[in-house]
Structure formats: C-alpha cells, structure tokens
Copies of this chain bind each other. A is one copy, B any other.
Amino acid sequence: MKILAIGFDIGGANVKVASAMIPVVMDTDAILESAFVTRKYFPLWKNSIDLLENVLHDSLLKHVEHHESLLASGNPCTIRVAATITGELSDAFNSKKEGIMKISGALSLACERVRNMFLEVKPLLKIKRPVFYGIDGHFRELDEAIEDWRIISAANWHATARWLGTRIKNGLLIDCGSTTTDIIPIIGHHPCTKGSTDFERLMSGELVYTGILRATIPSISHEVPVGEKMVPVSFEKFAIMADVYLILGMISPEDYTCETPDGREKNSDAACRRLARHVCEDASELGHQKIMDMAKYLHAQQVKRIATSVKQVMQWVQNAREGKKKKNLIAYGTGLGEEILIEPAVKAAGIREQKLSAHFIGKEHSISSSAIGILFIIILDSCMGESLAE
C-alpha cells in the first residue's frame, strides 16, 4: 500500500508543510528531491483559530493534490500526518497548554474534514488522524498531546536535528529563521542539548530569540551610529531587521514574507524611511549613507549576538566531550539567515568548518527545514515499521 507522509510545522508566524511518498527503500536524497514544501505566513496573534483550521485544511488538500498522480493508481493509499508545534507561545492564547490544545485541535479537525470529504469523492484515500511530535522523540495522538503539552511544546528543532542525526554523527545544527535561531549540538547521531523547553534553551543559548526578518531594532541594539555619534533608538516598532537587510541588498522583497511595520512598500526607499524613524528623523534629512551605516551596524550586532550564543553552546559541548579526541564540530547552517547571519557568526565563534543547506538539505528546503525534519521523522517511523496512531 502506498503511503503519503505530510509533516506540519505550525509556528506563531508561519505554517510550513512538507510532503513526500514513503519509499520502499530509504533514500534520503531521492526523498529530498521529490519532497513538496509550502510555507504560509500566518501570524496567529492576528487571526482566529478557525482561520488556522482553514489554512491547515487547504494545505492538506494542496499537498494531496500535488502527489495525486502518484496516488491515482486504483489502489488504496494511506496519508500520514504529523506535526510539530511552536505557535503555542503566541499571546493569542492564555497559556501554552491552551495553545497546544487549540492548535492540535485545529489540525485534527482539518484532517477530519478532509477525511470526510475523501470518503465521498476519493474513497481510496484514507487520511489518518494526525499525531504530534514531542521532545522525547515520540508521537502522540490528540488527547495525549494535550495531556503532555510540555513535551509537545516547541519540539520542531528536535525533529530537524534528529533527522540530521541520521546523516551525520557529530555537528552543530544552526537554523536561523525569520523569528528565532536554534543552535543544536548533534552528538553520536542524536540531538544533545542542555535545555529542553524554550525557556531552558533560552538560558543555555540553544535558542536565540532573534531572526532575520521579524526581530525589532531595540532588541538588537539600544543605539546606532549616525555620522560620528551613537544615538539611542526609539522603542516603537518603526522598522524590523527585514528592513535592514532590504537596505543592505541582502534579501529581496520576496524574502520579506512578513508584513512591513507601517504597512507600506517592501523596497529600499520605504525601508530607509522606516529605519530613519528610529532616530526620530526623516530618511531625506539623514541621507542615504548614514542610513546604510546604521544598517551595517545593526547587521554586525545581530551577527555578534548569534556568535555569542554559538560560543556559549560550543563551550559546554567541548566540556562534555572532554577526554575524547578534540575535533572541531562542523556547523550546519539552514534557514533564510544561513548566509547573512550564520556564516559570519560561526566564523566569529571560531568554528572552522561549516556547511550550508545546499550541502545537506537542499537550498530550496532551507527556509522550511523544520517541516522537512518532521516529514523525515514520519518516513523513518514508517520504514522502521513502528505504527503511528491509527
């Protein structure tokens, strides 16, 4: 029987989905090549949970449709859905438990709607109830996931690192996305972190709450250079780091997937106006060179911030491995920030060798590596003959 695997990573700002047919023989490169990946900017704090259900429902259909030619063979086919959740931290919810409950509930309802529809129009397609991945490496069905919400919370990094652990023995996975950066040591093929929850990982440096698009200016620096003076910045969300990288020509308007703070254009001129406002000034009054210098400084500061955490993580990893042959870990960078932030940060942290996403996951999957991670966990789970929840 054919099996289609669909992995969801449901964050506070983005829904990422990756899907592939489960092969008879595990061939990572072939799966990566055939994988279909989508990403939708969907800020939970601005939308209702009903809308999330619709987005998940539509994503499911889109992914099934993509593989339709492989499915339409007259034979029955099973669709396995699994998810990692990080959106529970959003203040759309009163607590993380409520977040896990509502998000997992939304995916379950979306699957049920698709199942009921298929019963009538595509009786050969059977979609299973979704399961949820936890930081203990196990899947849970809805009820159990809600019960064990602490284990389900923010487990996407674990799925990605566990998958990478099937390809490498030791290394440092660094995923720098729009909002956060994960720094995950992989030792002996397994994710090996000091912290488990987001809170613990913040403390250990394994979670850096900074990202290439949505990070705010004062979260990077309380002051910026203007001409020869340092000037304190306004705390208003006038600009975000996406504006900085747009000004520096490091990202394209298409990379700028979140909304602009002022709702205006995603181009360099508008971004300059937004950034200038942080020192209470019009862009035309400051002039382009000064704004470029502000942007360069902010880029350097964000690199420094990530480098500090990379060093912090390396420190305890080296200590833990003391006695073993000291060999430098290789850093594996992924996410939209891999070249702009991870590459210089890793260098600054003194790591000599690094590989970017093109060398292990494919450049096209770089910004959705967490969805690829959960997709592979489903496939591995199926190939190992373990049964997912019915």
Contact = CB atoms under 8 A, between A and B. Distances in A.
A216 B202 contact: no
A210 B233 CA distance: 10
The contact size tier of chain A is 35 or more
Contact of A218 (B95, B214, B219, B234): B219
Given A94-B264, A202-B232, 15 more contacts: A91-B261, A91-B262, A91-B274, A92-B262, A95-B273, A95-B284, A198-B281, A202-B231, A202-B279, A203-B226, A207-B280, A209-B235, A209-B236, A209-B280, A216-B237
B280 A198 contact: yes
B222 A282 contact: no
A87 to B, nearest CB: 12
Contacts of A277: 89, 91
Contact of A222 (B95, B197, B219): B219
A273 B219 contact: no
Contacts of A264: 91, 94
29 contacts: A89-B277, A89-B280, A91-B238, A91-B261, A91-B277, A92-B262, A94-B264, A95-B273, A95-B282, A95-B284, A198-B281, A199-B231, A199-B279, A202-B231, A202-B232, A202-B280, A203-B226, A203-B231, A209-B232, A209-B234, A209-B235, A209-B236, A210-B235, A215-B235, A218-B218, A218-B219, A219-B222, A219-B233, A237-B237
Contacts of A96: 282
The oligomer's copy count stands at 2
A229 interface: yes
Contacts of A203: 226, 229, 231
Contacts of A208: 232
A91 to B, nearest CB: 4
Nearest to A211: B235
A286 to B, nearest CB: 8
Interface of A: 45, 89, 91-92, 94-97, 154, 197-199, 202-203, 207-210, 214-216, 218-219, 222, 226, 229, 231-238, 261-262, 264, 273-274, 277, 279-282, 284-285
Contact of A216 (B216, B226, B282): B216
A281 B284 CA distance: 42
A281 B199 contact: yes
Contact of A273 (B94, B238, B280, B284): B94
Contacts of A210: 235
Nearest to A227: B203
Contacts of A45: 262
Contacts of A231: 199, 202-203
Contacts of A236: 91, 209
A114 B362 CA distance: 66
Contacts of A285: 199
A94 B210 CA distance: 28
A309 to B, nearest CB: 8
A96 B262 CA distance: 14
A235 B207 CA distance: 13
A4 to B, nearest CB: 34
Nearest to A149: B282
A236 B216 CA distance: 8
A209 B233 contact: yes
A103 to B, nearest CB: 15
Contacts of A94: 264, 273
